[in-house]
Amino acid sequence: MTAANGGDPLEAAAELVRTYSAVVNAITANVLNAQAGSEWLSAEPQNLEEVRRSLNRIADDGMRAGEALVRLRSLMEKVPIVDGAFGP
């Protein structure tokens, strides 16, 4: 529930923060998985099974980030901007 439809503005802000955090976490996971995959390709011998797993995790995390961005956009459209909320 958001402030726009009768909910608590603090709840709406908390949901925005949670959703933003989910996006950041998914992007961070993608970077780490890409780095790991690169290391496994550089190894002697190459560990192609781990690279395959890393690529699958990157795809999963990308989907998770995309879903969170859709939620974030939806939340931002529903939460009204309050004048003076961030200073004078």
Helices (H), 7-87: 9-42, 48-78
Residue 47 belongs to domain spanning: 7-78
pLDDT number for residue 2: 44
Position 88 in a domain: no
Domain count across the chain:
1
6, pLDDT greater than 50: yes
Helix/strand/coil for 5 = helix
What average pLDDT does this structure show over 5-18? 79
Q: What is the pLDDT of residue 70?
A: 87
- Assess if residue 1 is contained within a domain: no
- For the question of whether the overall pTM of this predicted structure is more than 0.85, the answer is no
* DSSP classification of residue 3: G
DSSP-based three-state secondary structure for 35: helix
- Give the pLDDT of residue 81: 56
In a domain, 36, yes or no: yes
Work out the burial of residue 2: count CB atoms within 10 Å of its CB; fewer than 13 is exposed, 13-18 middle, 19 or more buried: buried
